[in-house]
Amino acid sequence: MDWGEHGWAFALVLANGELFTDAVQTDHGCSYIGPPPFSCEYEVVTPQHVRLTMRKGATVIRVGEIELMNDGTTRTTHRVFPSDGSPYVEKTVWVRQL
């Protein structure tokens, strides 16, 4: 995962060998770079904490809390609202190997 003044991006290689990528550009509002038809909004909570709200049309599908920790790791908490199931929470920690 990488983030900076223009947004963030990350890539994952899943256990089955598939590649998953995701990115958001924040230069002029919030632009989700990924499969359509999603839109996004973001709020800078602190210089190290961003809240990202993803929508499909008018419906909120995900709210992500993305935090850069003092040791360089990134912690994310995503509240997910699927159209065909109960809401759930995803938590991840990204550790930078030096």
Long-range contacts (CB closer than 8 Å, 24 or more residues apart) made by 57-66: 59/83, 66/3, 66/8
Summarised one tens digit per residue, pLDDT across range 67-97 is: 988 877 889 899 999 889 999 999 988 776 6
- Summary mean pLDDT of the chain: 82
Cα 45 versus chain centre, distance: 14
The residues spanned by each domain of the chain are 2-94
pTM for this one? Answer: 0.70
Label residue 60 by pLDDT band (50, 70, 90). very high
CB burial class (10 A; 0-12, 13-18, 19+) of residue 58?
exposed
